[in-house]
Amino acid sequence: MRQAFVFPGQGAQTIGMGYELAQHYPAARAIYAIADQVLGWSVSELCFSGPEAQLTATENTQPALVATSLAVLAALAGDMEQIVPYTCQHAVAVAGHSLGEYSALVAAGSLTPTAAIQLVRQRGVLMAAATSGCMAAVIGLDDDSIDQICRSVSTPAAAVVVANYNSPGQTVISGAASAIEAATEALKAAGAKRVIALNVSAAFHSPLMHDAAQALAAHVALTTILAPVIPVISNITAQPLLTPADIANELPAQVESAVRWVSTIQYLVADGVTHFVEIGAGNVLSGLIKRIAPDATTTTITDVASLNAYRAQTNA
């Protein structure tokens, strides 16, 4: 069975995530201890107890979710230092949705947990500081039609683009408020079942995030990045990131580029992956994957029961 490990992004967070695993596994506690130390405040307490308003703030959500994914993976591996060997033994590739790409890079040995948490804290702060534009989810319309409509309503002063190719029939657009409004009317007229405004502070994964991307690049430039020891599939190109330079270019560009999750999963399936293991909080990615690749099987690992079930199934 060829497996890929996948890691969720922003929106997967829930109060209580990671708590049970941290109670049972020293390796999970060790990850949260690193995160608390790096941040200078208790992200573990925020994950375990909330409050929700603080947990859902972008600058907090991002390190909280990466810490939780890494805590789950460390618990699976049995030791924080065994994350990369464990991943290489049990997966043929890794991928993460947007923010989740940082967890994937740790799993592949390109970033340390400390570096990943430091970077996503900066990423979250920079993205939270951006206040231009908005986003909307488009349900029930094909990607080509959405792309064409975004281009047709965009102007140099007010553009809208596809931000997330999540699954067939679920796509997210991002851009200037006036362009989103014009696109919404055109998308509905073209047959979209629904266009749902998203509760976000800015137009993530769009050119309006250029300043945040440039600022993040300065932090990435100061970070030690190693070549991945297992393929990490890029959000931007849906192809493997092969070198530290690839990764250093990817991370800032990702903030203002579309997340090509459909193409990512299609690439992995074409490469022979038949099973996807979602590691972290929730099961959002498993749902998307089943719509992209109906013949693939999925497993979510979020707590002690699901971790033990996976181990029993795979003898891992």
**Residue 55 near residue 3, CB atoms below 8 Å:** no
**Residue 7 near residue 104, CB atoms below 8 Å:** yes
Residue 300, number of CB atoms within 10 A of its CB: 22
Strand partners, 250: none
Catalytic hit among 69, 98, 234, 286: 98
Angle (CA) 7 11 180, round 5° = 120
**Residue 187 near residue 194, CB atoms below 8 Å:** no
* Annotated catalytic residue 205: yes
Tokens read off for 20: 């049970």
Tokens read off for 29: 């506690």
Element of type H or E holding 27: helix 26-39
Residue 11, number of CB atoms within 10 A of its CB: 16
Question: What per-residue string of b and e applies to 26-49 under the rule 16 or more CB within 10 Å gives b?
Answer: ebbbbbbbbbbebbeeebbebbbe
What is the crossing angle of helices 58-77 and 113-129, to 10°? 160
Q: Which residues, 6 or more positions from 242, have their beta carbon under 8 angstroms from its beta carbon?
A: 227, 228
- Kindly state the greatest CA–CA separation across the chain: 56
> How many CA atoms are closer than 13 Å to the CA of 161, on its beta-carbon side?
16
Please tell me the total number of residues recorded for the chain in this structure: 316
Catalytic hit among 69, 97, 205, 257: 205
Active-site annotation, residues: 98, 205
